[in-house]
Amino acid sequence: MHNVVCIKQVPDSAQIRVHPVTNTIMRQGVPTIINPYDLFALEAALELRDKFGGEITVVTMGPPSAEDSLRKALTFGAERAVLLTDRCFAGADTLATTYALATAIRKIGKDYGQPDLIFTGKQTIDGDTAQVGPGIAKRLQVMQLTYVVKIGALDLTARTIEAERRSEGGVQVLRTRLPCLITMLEATNQIRRGAMADALRAARAPIVKWSAQDAGVEDISKCGLKGSPTVVKRVFAPSARADKATLVEPSEEPAQALIDTIFKHQPKLEADLAALAGNV
Amino acid sequence: MIDEKFDAIVVGAGLAGNAAALTMAKRGVKVLQLERGEYSGSKNVQSAILSADLLEELIPDFRDDAPLERNLVEQRFWMMNDRSHIGLGYRFDAKRPTRYTVIRAHFDKWFSSKVKQAGAAVLCQTTATELARNRRGCVIGVRTDRQDGIIHADVVVLADGANGLLGARAGFRKAPKPDQVALAVKETHILPRKVVEDRLNLKGDGGVVIEAGGVIARGMTGIGFIYANKECISLGVACLLSELQKTGEIPYQLLDSFKRHPSIARLIDGSDVRDYSAHLIPKRGDKPAPRLRRSGWVAVGDAASLDGIVDFDSPSIAMISGRVAAEAVSGLKLRGDLTRAGGLSLYNKMLQMTLRESKKYEDMPGLLHADPQSFSLTYPQLVLKAMKNFTRGTPEADKSILRILPSPWSRTGGEPFRVPRVLR
Ligand SMILES: Cc1cc2nc3c(=O)[nH]c(=O)nc-3n(C[C@H](O)[C@H](O)[C@H](O)COP(=O)(O)OP(=O)(O)OC[C@H]3O[C@@H](n4cnc5c(N)ncnc54)[C@H](O)[C@@H]3O)c2cc1C
């Protein structure tokens, strides 16, 4: 089988700081990582490949430096990596991103075999929209299973797949037909450590690089900033809360000690409560 | 097992490992480099000063895209007392920058991209766990922490830093003793560019480095250092491990009291602290150097504790040794001699020679990289040491030191005219 995994290189949000003076996000020097959700998707694809054979193609749209993430994906054991990189892709919102990725996946299908499954992470940690996976499925007109926690029976002859999907209040077990797009939820598996042979191959493998034209994009106006109706109005850092936590010393009457402390810090509350009690 | 065999495996992608891997790859040696961090520089939050000449030899067009912070236009030396300091400054107008400050995390990553461009295979997140040896004890490759991870090579270049665990585990070197290593702890303080420049009296991309000696913290002797980068000030203290053991001081508390010193506090007031880190600096002093090579392996950079082999206190020694070892290996490969045991003794000779000539790098020796004694000098000694530092490098330095030297100082070291030369 041939599975395509979409990944994104994102700034490691754990290490992003807001500039103390200018209040802008400091991107300089922030290390980049593969979007953590995408790793669950990649591992799910790897497990299927181990069981059913076939190949995995990872694809990303991003700046030339996104090659690092693709190489890392190869280290984990993917067979092939495609980097979609072009100035005209810059500034894309989810609408424009899904247009570019869907176009590239069509081309991947033509060049390397039609994909049976397309994977994405649930969402990215720098956009948090969870729209890209479903958007690609819609554009390619394939089935979609979102928020998947576990992949069940896969029947390549009947061309069906079963999966468990987390939803509010429970888990749904769903079956649909291939080809299908799956968005994986966090903590569903753990990305493997690639073997030496994979790591060596990854260090030297060529990365397939496609411009918009190479990928078969027909309408440039649907790409990047031009193709993006979403506008970011403002970015700001929420101000820190100034209140400090107070430690209440243990005592014989813990409830009383607690109430005393609360009243000490909020004298008005005590008066209000007393007034209330007087009214009853 | 992997069938493929490499000419050389470089363990570690710090300054020494990258210089070695780059030099070899450029000369057609088939190189594999292993780095345990996520990428070259990922574990490194230091700032460093690098010599422009040395960089140019390794990467002629480095100025085009290297992440350089500032080019040095001034060196200051402070003698610290509890709440005050006396300072000497040497400001030079370098028309062509000779030294740059860099942030290692950025610089090493860029350096590593050049290594890859030159054709070396670079594997990150891969730790070499052990040297593989044949029955005669010759090193034939390394074992790693990846599945099927033994890889073979004619030569293994140990560039795994000050801890040098691989060599130590194989019995090639002894773990350094507490009085042979200094522990440096440091922090990065983010500040707006204008603030950095105003507080340190800088313009444009000009940079300054301050070294502080004397009572750096809580009555303990050691070395303090302050580097100006574009938008941050990086500072730290270094003490011999043995000194820390003796006094029971906790390194980060020393750093803390250094930061509270009035002379330092005003520099970093209102900053946002980014990283805190500790790093070992080998300091063998004049004790015998560990063996640098045997059949099938060479050690470079901090892993070789080179500071003891010659009277040379340059921080660039890591890069120089990496390059020289690489030249030795490349030479042997060219002659088809790579597998002959013992052939690498060339490296020792070449290194000695290069180091003797390397004054041309206009290096700033810096107290931090000098002999261990400089960690506990008296004030007069510190003044002399400072002068020795200043008078290296540019030729006009000798003259300018006389101008900045007020007469009372001459008493501490005898006649000022002769001081620098006597010390050399
Ligand atoms: C506070 C301070 C200031 C300094 N200032 C300067 C300066 O201004 N200029 C200058 O040139 N030098 C400076 N130095 C010295 C400089 O940092 C070192 O000399 C230099 O980093 C040594 O390079 P290296 O390649 O030998 O080791 P390192 O830079 O320590 O690199 C070793 C690398 O090996 C990797 N590694 C370790 N073990 C393994 C393993 N088993 N498998 C795979 N990978 C492994 C590590 O992750 C690391 O990346 C300074 C040092 C300190 C502490």
Q: Which of B163-177, B261-275, B344-358, B368-382 has the highest mean pLDDT?
A: B261-275
The pLDDT, as a whole number, for residue B307 is: 58
**Mutate which: A196, A201, A207, vs B, most B CBs within 10 A:** A196
Q: Domain map of chain A by residue range?
A: 2-227, 242-280
Distance (angstroms) between ligand 1 centre and the Cα of B19 equals: 12
The pLDDT, as a whole number, for residue B419 is: 28
Taking residues B210-218, what's their average pLDDT?
75
Full 3-state SS string of chain A: CEEEEECCEEECHHHCEECCCCCCEECCCCCEEECHHHHHHHHHHHHHHHHHCCEEEEEEECCHHHHHHHHHHHHHCCCEEEEECCHHHCCCCHHHHHHHHHHHHHHHHHHHCCCCEEEEECCCCCCCCCCHHHHHHHHHCCEEEEEEEEEEEEECCCCEEEEEEEECCEEEEEEEECCEEEEECCCCCCCCCCCHHHHHHHHHCCCEEECHHHHCCCCHHHCCCCCCCCCCCCCCCCCCCCCCCCCCCCCCCHHHHHHHHHHHHCHHHHHHHHHHHHHC
The pLDDT, as a whole number, for residue B342 is: 56
Taking residues B256-260, what's their average pLDDT?
89
Distance (angstroms) between ligand 1 centre and the Cα of B47 equals: 11
The pLDDT, as a whole number, for residue A19 is: 65
Which of A194, A200, A204 comes nearest B2 by C-beta?
A: A200
- How does DSSP assign B337-376, residue by residue? -TTSTTTTHHHHHHHHHHHHHGGGG-----GGGS-GGGGG
Asked if the model's pLDDT at residue B49 lies above 80, the reply is yes
The pLDDT, as a whole number, for residue B284 is: 61
The pLDDT, as a whole number, for residue B401 is: 37
Query: Is the CB of B34 within 6 Å of ligand 1?
Result: yes
The pLDDT, as a whole number, for residue B397 is: 40
Scanning every residue of chain B, which has its alpha carbon at the shortest distance from the alpha carbon of A205? B121
DSSP state of B254: H
- How does DSSP assign B389-419, residue by residue? HHTSSSTTHHHHHHHH--HHHHHHHS-TTTH
Segment among A100-104, B50-54, B127-131 with least mean pLDDT: B50-54
Per-chain mean pLDDT for chain B: 78
Q: What is the pLDDT of residues B298-347, one digit of tens each?
A: 888 888 876 544 444 456 778 888 998 898 888 888 877 766 655 666 67
How many angstroms away from the CA of A249 is the closest CA of chain B?
29
Q: B 350-409 residues with CB below 8 A of A?
A: none
Taking residues B223-246, what's their average pLDDT?
88
The pLDDT, as a whole number, for residue B368 is: 58
Which chain A residues touch B42 with a CB distance below 8 Å?
31
- One digit per residue, the tens of pLDDT, for chain A of length 280 reads 999 999 999 988 777 766 656 666 666 667 789 999 999 999 999 999 999 999 999 999 999 999 999 999 999 999 999 999 999 999 889 999 999 999 999 999 999 999 999 999 999 888 888 999 999 999 999 999 999 999 999 999 999 999 999 988 899 999 999 999 999 998 889 999 999 999 999 999 889 999 999 999 999 999 999 999 988 887 777 777 777 788 888 888 889 999 988 888 888 888 888 888 887 6
Q: Whose CA is nearest to atom 30 of ligand 1?
A: B161
Which chain B residues touch A39 with a CB distance below 8 Å?
none
The CATH code for residues A2-227 is 3.40.50.620
Q: What's the half-sphere exposure (Cβ side, CA atoms, 13 Å) at A276?
A: 6
CB contact under 8 A, A17 and B190: yes
Taking residues B396-413, what's their average pLDDT?
36
CB contact under 8 A, B2 and A193: no
Model ipTM value: 0.74
The sheet carrying A80-84 orders its strands as A170-177, A160-167, A143-155, A180-184, A117-121, A2-6, A55-61, A80-84, A208-210
Asked if the model's pLDDT at residue B416 lies above 60, the reply is no
The pLDDT, as a whole number, for residue A114 is: 96
Q: What is the pLDDT of residues B73-128, one digit of tens each?
A: 888 888 887 788 888 888 877 678 888 999 888 899 999 999 999 999 999 999 99
B39 close to A (CB below 8 A):
yes
CB contact under 8 A, A17 and B123: no
Asked if the model's pLDDT at residue B353 lies above 80, the reply is no
CB contact under 8 A, B123 and A203: yes
